[in-house]
Amino acid sequence: MVVVMSPDATDEDIARVVSRVEGVGGEAFVSKGVVRTIIGLVGDIESFHHLNLRTLRGVADVHRISDPYKLVSRQHHAERSTVWVGPEGRRVPIGPDSFTFLAGPCAVESAEQTVEAARMAQSAGATILRGGAFKPRTSPYAFQGLGVAGLEILAGVREATGMPVVTEVVDARDVPVVAEYADMLQIGTRNAANFGLLQAVGEAGKPVLLKRGMNATIEEWLMAAEYVAQRGNLDIVLCERGIRTFEPSTRNTLDISAVPVVQATSHLPIIIDPSHAAGRKDLVVPLARAGIAVGADGVIVDVHPKPEVALCDGPQALLGNDLRELAQAVRKLPKVVGRVDAGTMIR
Ligand code: PEP
Ligand code: MN
């Protein structure tokens, strides 16, 4: 941390800062310039926060120089991590060497619809099945998902297809039952700052897919990941799914730059969700291509055998030619950026 003194700060003001810092066991290195003095602090950053140094006379500004998150930071773990999803023998990697394709219906509506969507996803090259059993809807009158019956359907489709399953959990009370059925627990954008839920999934013993809060900065998102990590679970995959901006032509704005920004600062893998970002199927393939090109570790999309009757997010679901086009992009483009298909690394 660095304390910048104002040009009119006196020696007494400087001595006060130094003595407060030393009082909590820190060290203060004073550097006097022609106009200003700056003081470099070394020690426990949390105890410096409690000093409220900004309120002291003569202090102009206080800057943090290390990341506020620790466990998810590359300062803690320099190499980028790979998270493995699924049971022994069917574990799919999500990480820096591979490219992982996840697909499935937005919501589990029936066994037939889910198995059909899973077959479509698998034939397009997807290796992890997505599907919501607990749906966090903006309207309380909208379809809320089949709950535990939906989890049972997902478990059945996992057996039929061999694909590990990722599904959302929206309430800390449901974490044990979702963890019993799913291979990976998803935290959706609306719950990305639900700290009790983040702690609960951190204790569930399953990998976590943490979507970015639609209003969250990258730092807030990584702090949310830190809540999970702090409970002992570092198997976290981040998912950029679009943020709220002033632009109304898409549902959200896919923040493509979040991918390299996150990779520079955190060791966690990061995938993109062009379906929930755009809310429109015609944009899913171009955005997926952009995600691959920018270096994302995977892509997750909605597919549905009959989007026109889907109970949730039909307009963004792929099938037919659109899905074939996506399959082609996912087969070809990752190689160009030095990635191998995660499907070839299953173990
Ligand atoms: C989802 O993936 O089903 C979902 C609801 O996504 P998000 O939380 O990104 O809106
Ligand atoms: Mn959806």
Residue 189 near ligand 1, beta carbon < 6 Å: yes
**How many angstroms is it from 98 CA to the middle of ligand 2?**
25
Residue 213 near ligand 1, beta carbon < 6 Å: no
Q: What is the mean pLDDT of residues 245-271?
A: 98
The chain-wide mean pLDDT, for the chain, equals: 96
What is the predicted pLDDT for the residue at 209?
98
What confidence tens digit (pLDDT) does each residue in 76-134 have?
899 999 999 999 999 999 999 999 999 999 999 999 999 999 999 999 999 999 999 99
Residue 10 reports pLDDT greater than 90: yes
Residue 65 reports pLDDT greater than 90: no
Percent of the chain beyond pLDDT 70?
100
**How many angstroms is it from 66 CA to the middle of ligand 1?**
32
pLDDT-derived band at 64 (thresholds 50, 70, 90) equals confident
Q: What is the mean pLDDT of residues 3-31?
A: 96
What is the predicted pLDDT for the residue at 285?
98
Q: Which of 13-22, 60-69, 158-167 has the lowest mean pLDDT?
A: 60-69
What is the predicted pLDDT for the residue at 276?
97
**How many angstroms is it from 312 CA to the middle of ligand 2?**
6
What confidence tens digit (pLDDT) does each residue in 140-153 have?
999 999 999 999 99
Q: Identify which of 102, 106, 239 to mutate to test ligand 1's pocket (most ligand atoms within 8 A of the CB).
A: 106
Residue 267 near ligand 1, beta carbon < 6 Å: no
What confidence tens digit (pLDDT) does each residue in 294-311 have?
999 999 999 999 999 999
The structural domains of the chain, ordered by start, are 2-63 (3.30.70.1140), 83-345 (3.20.20.70)
Q: What is the mean pLDDT of residues 31-56?
A: 92
Residue 263 near ligand 1, beta carbon < 6 Å: no
What is the predicted pLDDT for the residue at 34?
86
pLDDT-derived band at 321 (thresholds 50, 70, 90) equals very high
Burial class (CB in 10 A: 0-12, 13-18, 19+), 55: exposed
Residue 169 near ligand 1, beta carbon < 6 Å: no
Percent of the chain beyond pLDDT 90?
95
Q: Identify which of 130, 194, 276 to mutate to test ligand 1's pocket (most ligand atoms within 8 A of the CB).
A: 276
**How many angstroms is it from 279 CA to the middle of ligand 2?**
8
Tokens of 269: 């893998």
**How many angstroms is it from 153 CA to the middle of ligand 1?**
19
What confidence tens digit (pLDDT) does each residue in 159-213 have?
999 999 999 999 999 999 999 999 999 999 999 999 999 999 999 999 999 999 9
| Nearest one of 289, 273, 284 to 316, comparing CA atoms | 284
Closest ligand 1 atom to 211 CA: 9
What is the predicted pLDDT for the residue at 25?
96
Closest ligand 1 atom to 214 CA: 9
**How many angstroms is it from 137 CA to the middle of ligand 1?**
9
CA distance 17 to 38: 11
The ligand placed nearest to the CA atom of residue 315 is 2
**How many angstroms is it from 168 CA to the middle of ligand 2?**
11
Closest ligand 1 atom to 239 CA: 9
Tell me the whole-structure pTM to 2 decimals.
0.91
What is the predicted pLDDT for the residue at 68?
86
